[in-house]
Amino acid sequence: MTLAVRYISARTLDTAPAEPSSPGPGEVELAPAFVGICGTDLHIFHGDMDARVAAPAVLGHEMSGRVVRVGPGVEGWRPGDAVTVMPLRWDDTCPACLAGHQHICQHLDFIGIDSPGAMQQRWTVPASTLIRLPDTLPLDLAALVEPTAVAVHDVGRAKVTEGEKVVVVGGGPVGILIALVARATGAEVRVVELSAHRRLLAEELGLTAWDPADDDVSALVQQWTGDAGADVAFEVSGAAGGVDTAVDVLGVRGRLCLVAIHPRPREVNLHRFFWRELTLIGARLYDRSDFERAVTLVADGTIPAGRLISKVVPLTEARAAFEALEGGSDVMKILVDCTGDTEGVAV
């Protein structure tokens, strides 16, 4: 018998015994090591996704771990292999899949939301979802590969190129990762973030961060760009004010990449889009090449994953980790240790 963290109802989680399922044809059983908690997990915890999530539900999709058993017909994997999971299962028959966009399949199973996730001591997934990790990459750092893959996809969707000026609105974990990936692409980057804690972290990582409460962000961008405006803005805040800022900072033919999930419609200055011939780009999830690039960026230290991990807690303290993240402003990424070996150590 193993343990799993389950969502029961709004603000109610339990850690309960679970019976591992043997891997079937094409499946692999994993021992998750570390699982990150993201904004979507928090939405589930708050009860905002009850129409989609069938309780009791095992959460978690940002993970690292090792192969325990392989099912019939699985080749190329063996017990002990270090892996992460691209948590997407698509049907390969819908119009999106047939057009080559499987990651936004019209009947997508997002594993960890639509089906059981990684916050458990044993987890069976399709072998097709596995992404190999280098043996030299510590598994706690590897838990940040999935959100890094999100950032890689976002920067790719926005077609950021060397020398471009990029504004990231929202300096949470994904915003900082986007800024770091954009910088690695050769762009000049500025981060706009209300939280002093997150601005300080951005500065410690070599990024310039502005406080929209005290700074005239539009004026700073004009000064920075010689009145040209930014080439690209990423909206990662999820706030109406963030949308306004992202639109306002763009120069002629600038690109606005929408990353945050906005729970309700927002007003957008369409006159600005007309006047400057702006482009709005949606960015959702990732594909395998994004994941593979993310593994490289985390493994070679381009993404200083350890600096983004605020705390590691054992599986039995997952609820407290969710509650700590609700405050948000002084916490970046909390990992849940599924191995049973730790007592919960701040790092």
Tokens of 36: 């990150």
Closest CA to 190 of 209, 174, 204: 209
Q: Maximum CA pair distance of the chain?
A: 63
How far apart are alpha carbons 166 and 262 in whole angstroms?
Answer: 21
Tokens 């990651």 correspond to: 103
Q: What is the full DSSP assignment across 197-214? A: HHHHHHHHTT-EEE-TTT
Q: Spot the catalytic one: 2, 15, 43, 279.
A: 43
**43 a catalytic residue:** yes
- pLDDT tens for the chain, 347 residues long, are 899 999 999 999 999 999 888 999 999 999 999 999 999 999 999 999 999 999 999 999 999 999 999 999 999 999 999 999 999 999 999 999 999 999 999 999 999 999 999 999 999 999 999 999 999 999 999 999 999 999 999 999 999 999 999 999 999 999 999 999 999 999 999 999 999 999 999 999 999 999 999 999 999 999 999 999 999 999 999 999 999 999 999 999 999 999 999 989 999 999 999 999 999 999 999 999 999 999 999 999 999 999 999 999 999 999 999 999 987 678 999 999 999 843 333 32
CA distance 141 to 313: 14
Q: Which ranges constitute the DSSP H helices of the chain?
A: 39-45, 95-98, 139-142, 145-157, 173-184, 196-204, 217-225, 240-248, 270-276, 288-299, 305-308, 318-327
Q: End-to-end CA distance of the chain: give it in Å, rounded.
A: 30
CA distances (Å), 59 to each of 41, 56, 119, 264, 318, in order? 7, 10, 6, 24, 10
Q: In 3D, which of 32, 130, 7 has the Cα closest to residue 341?
A: 32
Task: Tell me if 305 sits within 8 A of 294, measured CB to CB.
Answer: no
Of 2, 12, 15, 40, which is the active-site residue? 40
Residue 346: predicted pLDDT: 31
The pLDDT of residue 293 is 98
